[in-house]
Amino acid sequence: MEKIVGLKDLRLNVDKYAKEVAKGSSFVVMRQSKPLFKISPVDEEETWETVIDFTKVRKGGVPIEEIIAAIGHERSSKSSRKTAKRI
């Protein structure tokens, strides 16, 4: 069962509630007698999805600068293709 906590109480005691959530508790946070949001533990298996393992691309991984450059190049190539199609 979820426990109810006021927003002000949550702000003042965030460490206490974080520890409770880490133990498995869930809370519904209220403000002016209306529910705002729910705090619950994270399901580790569903949280993160591996899109690409850069250590398999190159031993030790790929420097972030190379990834950013590649993304920037890909975006500029796509925008060039879109412009060419419009002409």
The H-assigned helical ranges of 1-87 are 7-12, 14-22, 44-47, 54-57, 64-86
Alpha carbon distance 12, 31 (integer Å): 14
The whole-number pLDDT of residue 58 equals 75
Q: Which residue positions in the chain have pLDDT lower than 70?
A: 1, 44-47, 74-87
Burial class (CB in 10 A: 0-12, 13-18, 19+), 39: middle
Give me the percent of the chain exceeding a pLDDT of 90: 43
Residue ranges covered by each domain of the chain: 3-41, 51-86
> For 50-67, what is each residue's pLDDT tens digit?
777 777 777 778 888 888
CATH architecture group of domain 3-41: 3-Layer(aba) Sandwich (3.40)
The whole-number pLDDT of residue 79 equals 56
Write down the pTM of the prediction.
Answer: 0.51
Structure-token pair, residue 66: 């190379």
The whole-number pLDDT of residue 63 equals 86
Q: Which residue has the tokens 């925008």?
A: 79
